[in-house]
């Protein structure tokens, strides 16, 4: 078995796009299985920055097939823009049906979903959504009122608008010219993604399942209700890609060396204003999708260990270690402590309200040292940085497979487990 699932171990933005891009040349197929254009993957290749929201991160490697599985919500406007960007950038053309395959079962997100997202996500229930219409579109899906790519291809536009009217009224229904444009651009790439993946597997090709968002935002296991609307755990890769779970292989979880969060919701290791600002600027922590500043905190090992227990990842990819270069003091959270009773726990609390009166217990890593510009092994790390990495592996119970210490493709060590 040489397929892998790659998921976020934190609150999203862990650098999954970068890791998948790094791994893509070892895999023949990259599949997106959850989320929507609420995700934004930033990839640097040959000095050029690419930001993709729906496109699997394998598109930048010419030998890789990219699949958008049925678990992904597709905004047709965003998808067609990204297809055009790839065509204009010379990555593929509209005959490249082995480079991009899109499931006809993907549900669609329309403008009215964005409007509803903006209206719902205010007041006491404010989640800080990306306003990409994701919650309302997933709601329509489970309410059995959704519209899928298959509908765009096979229904008349009037029939399609009738379906949309059931939930949106007359508001912001897409015009024929838009529907026609989306249909023309998307259609050549639509295919039976299950068949495609099973055939690739039978031919002995390697498949990488690429998750969006992260464990802390999972609809079932994250900090509900401050979560996204799909599952981000590895098990969902089978559902969202439309394949038997026996195809999945091992899981690799991505984590930054510190934590970030956008939107609202509990963030136990969040730093005070001055330190938060410092880490944000050192790490360039502004959202790829919304440009929003991300709140910053120390690495929460309790959360990561919990993610390992519930998703079963065997390997870790640690990103942005270089951001700690030269810092006098770095911390990692190893428990939560109740300030009144002194009780300590190593599992997260279940409700946002319960966090009141709990604080993180930290372990310190002093004099972090300078991370070299180029590394050929972990032994070349300064001693504190090396201790930090070993501590993370041991606490979480997973093996470090990738260490990323800069934005360029070269600034990463691929260690083991992925051969
Ligand atoms: P939604 O998925 O846009 O509905 O947003 C729900 C929550 O998930 C909000 O707190 C968002 O900030 C967060 N979120 C959604 N997608 C991402 C992502 O790709 N990275 C980080 N946070 C995200």
Q: Work out the pLDDT band at 125, boundaries 50, 70, 90.
A: low
> What's the pLDDT at 228?
96
Place of tokens 């372990």: 363
> In this predicted model, what pLDDT tens digit does every residue of 226-268 receive, in sequence order?
999 999 999 999 999 999 999 999 999 999 999 999 989 999 9
Average pLDDT, the chain: 93
| Length, in residues, of the chain | 419
Return d(Cα 315, Cα 178) in angstroms, integer. Answer: 44
Look at residues 128, 106, 101, 103 and name the one whose alpha carbon lies nearest to residue 117.
128
Return d(Cα 1, Cα 117) in angstroms, integer. Answer: 41
- Is 41 a residue of the active site? yes
> In this predicted model, what pLDDT tens digit does every residue of 6-59 receive, in sequence order?
999 999 999 888 888 888 889 999 999 999 998 887 777 777 888 889 999 889
Burial class of residue 94, CB neighbours in 10 A (0-12, 13-18, 19+)? middle
* Cα–ligand 1 centroid distance for 347 (angstroms): 23
Return d(Cα 242, Cα 246) in angstroms, integer. Answer: 12
> What's the pLDDT at 144?
94
Q: Is the CB of 135 under 6 A from ligand 1?
A: yes
Three-state SS for 102?
A: strand
User: What token pair was written down for 85?
Assistant: 């960007």
Residue to substitute in 7, 8, 12, 255 for testing ligand 1 pocket (most ligand atoms within 8 angstroms of CB): 12
> In this predicted model, what pLDDT tens digit does every residue of 75-118 receive, in sequence order?
999 999 999 999 998 889 888 889 999 999 999 999 999 988 88
Q: Please list, in sequence order, all residues whose beta carbon lies within 8 angstroms of the beta carbon of residue 265, skipping any fewer than 6 positions away.
A: 127, 128, 223, 226, 227, 352
Return d(Cα 104, Cα 135) in angstroms, integer. Answer: 20
> In this predicted model, what pLDDT tens digit does every residue of 281-296 receive, in sequence order?
999 999 877 788 999 9
Return d(Cα 41, Cα 416) in angstroms, integer. Answer: 24
Place of tokens 């403008």: 111
Query: Do 416 and 316 contact (CB within 8 A), yes or no?
Result: no
> What's the pLDDT at 418?
67
Atom number in ligand 1 closest to CA 135 = 4
> In this predicted model, what pLDDT tens digit does every residue of 342-372 receive, in sequence order?
999 999 999 999 999 999 999 999 999 999 9
> What's the pLDDT at 47?
77
Query: Do 10 and 396 contact (CB within 8 A), yes or no?
Result: no
Q: Work out the pLDDT band at 197, boundaries 50, 70, 90.
A: very high
Q: Work out the pLDDT band at 121, boundaries 50, 70, 90.
A: confident
Return d(Cα 173, Cα 165) in angstroms, integer. Answer: 8
Residue nearest to atom 5 of ligand 1 (CA): 129
Does the structure show a pLDDT above 90 at 380? Answer: yes
Mean pLDDT of 205-233: 96
Look at residues 170, 177, 211 and name the one whose alpha carbon lies nearest to residue 80.
177
Return d(Cα 39, Cα 30) in angstroms, integer. Answer: 16
Q: The whole model's pTM is what?
A: 0.95
Mean pLDDT of 378-387: 96
Residue to substitute in 217, 292, 294 for testing ligand 1 pocket (most ligand atoms within 8 angstroms of CB): 217
Q: Work out the pLDDT band at 124, boundaries 50, 70, 90.
A: low
């Amino acid at each position: 078995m040489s397929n892998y699932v790659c998921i976020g171990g934190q609150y999203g933005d862990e650098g999954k796009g970068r890791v998948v891009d790094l791994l893509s040349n070892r895999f023949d197929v990259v599949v997106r299985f959850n989320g929507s254009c609420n995700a934004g993957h930033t990839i640097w290749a040959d000095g050029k920055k690419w930001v993709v929201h729906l496109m699997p991160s394998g598109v930048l490697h010419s030998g890789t097939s990219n699949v958008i599985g049925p678990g992904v919500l597709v905004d047709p406007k965003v998808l067609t823009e990204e297809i055009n960007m790839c065509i204009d950038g010379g990555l593929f053309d509209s005959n490249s049906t082995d480079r991009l395959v899109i499931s006809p079962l993907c549900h669609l997100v329309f403008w009215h979903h964005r409007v509803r997202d903006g209206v719902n996500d205010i007041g006491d229930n404010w989640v800080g959504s990306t306003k990409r219409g994701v919650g309302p579109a997933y709601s329509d899906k489970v309410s059995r009122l959704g519209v899928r790519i298959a509908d765009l291809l096979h229904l008349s536009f009037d029939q399609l608008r009738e379906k949309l009217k059931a939930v949106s009224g007359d508001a912001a229904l897409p015009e024929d010219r838009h529907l026609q444009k989306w249909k023309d651009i998307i259609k050549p790439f639509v295919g039976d993604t299950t068949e495609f993946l099973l055939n690739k597997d039978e031919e002995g090709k390697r498949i990488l399942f690429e998750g969006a968002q992260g464990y802390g935002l999972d609809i079932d296991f994250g900090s509900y209700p401050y979560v996204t609307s799909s599952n981000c755990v590895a098990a969902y890769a089978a559902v969202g890609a439309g394949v038997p779970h026996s195809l999945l292989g091992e899981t690799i979880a991505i984590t930054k060396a510190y934590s970030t969060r956008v939107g609202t919701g509990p963030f136990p290791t969040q730093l005070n204003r001055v330190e938060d600002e410092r880490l944000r600027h050192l790490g360039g922590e502004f959202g790829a999708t919304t440009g929003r500043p991300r709140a910053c905190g120390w690495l929460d090992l309790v959360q990561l260990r919990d993610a390992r227990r519930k998703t079963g990842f065997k390997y870790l990819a640690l990103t942005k270690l270089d951001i700690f270069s030269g810092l006098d003091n770095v911390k990692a959270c190893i428990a939560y402590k109740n300030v009144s009773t002194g009780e300590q726990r190593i599992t997260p609390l279940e409700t946002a309200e319960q966090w009141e009166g709990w604080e993180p217990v930290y372990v310190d890593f002093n004099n972090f040292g300078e991370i070299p510009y180029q590394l050929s092994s972990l032994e070349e790390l300064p001693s504190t940085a090396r201790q930090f990495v070993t501590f993370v592996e041991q606490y979480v119970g997973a093996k470090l497979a990738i260490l990323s210490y800069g934005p360029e493709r070269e600034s990463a060590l691929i260690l083991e487990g992925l051969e």
